[in-house]
Amino acid sequence: MFPLGVLKKQKPAPDPNLTLLLMHFEGADGSTTFTDSSPVPYAIVNTDSQISSFTLKSGFGSSGFFNNLGGSPYRKIETVNVAPDLRNTDFTIECFIHPTALNFFLCEIFGTQRINDNLCYACSISQTTNTLTADVFGVQFSHQTTISLNTTHHIALVRRNNNFIIYLNGVAGNVSPSISQSIIDNYNPTTPLRIGVARGGSASFFTGYIDEFRIRKEAVYTGNFTPPTAPFTY
């Protein structure tokens, strides 16, 4: 009970319009149609990836399957035209992953780049150390905990001011050095956002399942947290 005349301060409801990309990977098993459920959806181009009935978490439904065990074309999906421009805002890029193989030196989960191959923001798994690694505007840093194969993990790449941090299963990793806004501004993304790989022409593809991929124009997480237990609504 609160004293008479004292009102409990309500936490403001999250703004759906801050969601720039939201992919639930829902659909029939084997479908090659992927959709963005954000308020202003991107058109999605698919290269041989499929919807799978494999469920990463209870209640999550289907997932995206990226079977990059060799051959061509490699499996990936990407937004049409350029990726969301995140140079001048806090952001959170997150998803659930379930890797089944580490068959490339860097198994790139997602990313976007400039034409000269420098990554603007990306996450990958190192084949040699099984660590989650982030690339943001010319700086690379890794999480202190290793990734397990055939296991579902939640990952999040968060920008808060000019610091960047990766979370694995809700646990904060190493914070990147502060990056000046002038350097960030010089990294204008010129390629689509890719899921299942970051660089369009390299053989650094992700093998396994991805679900609930979301980009929010805010730092959703500012400390350790419990990963979501239900699909995102915004």
| Phi, psi dihedral angles at 125 (to 5 degrees) | -115, 130
Per cent of the chain over pLDDT 90 is 73
Q: Tell me if residue 128 falls in helix, strand or coil.
A: coil
pLDDT of residue 1: 47
Half-sphere exposure of 109 (CA within 13 A, CB side): 31
Is the pTM here over 0.85, yes or no?
Answer: yes
pLDDT of residue 69: 86
Per-residue pLDDT tens for 7-22? Answer: 555 667 789 999 999 9
pLDDT of residue 57: 94
In which region does residue 21 sit, left (phi positive, over 0), alpha (psi from -120 to 50) or beta (all else)? beta
Burial (0-12, 13-18, 19+ Cβ within 10 Å), 19: buried
pLDDT of residue 2: 43
- For residues 153 and 211, what is the distance between their CA atoms, to the nearest angstrom? 10
Low-confidence ranges of the chain (pLDDT < 70): 1-11, 71, 201-202
177 touches 149 (CB < 8 A) = no
Per-residue pLDDT tens for 171-219? Answer: 999 888 888 899 998 888 888 999 999 987 667 899 999 999 999 999 9
- For residues 232 and 234, what is the distance between their CA atoms, to the nearest angstrom? 6
Q: Which amino acid is at 178?
A: S
Strand-pair partners of 177: none
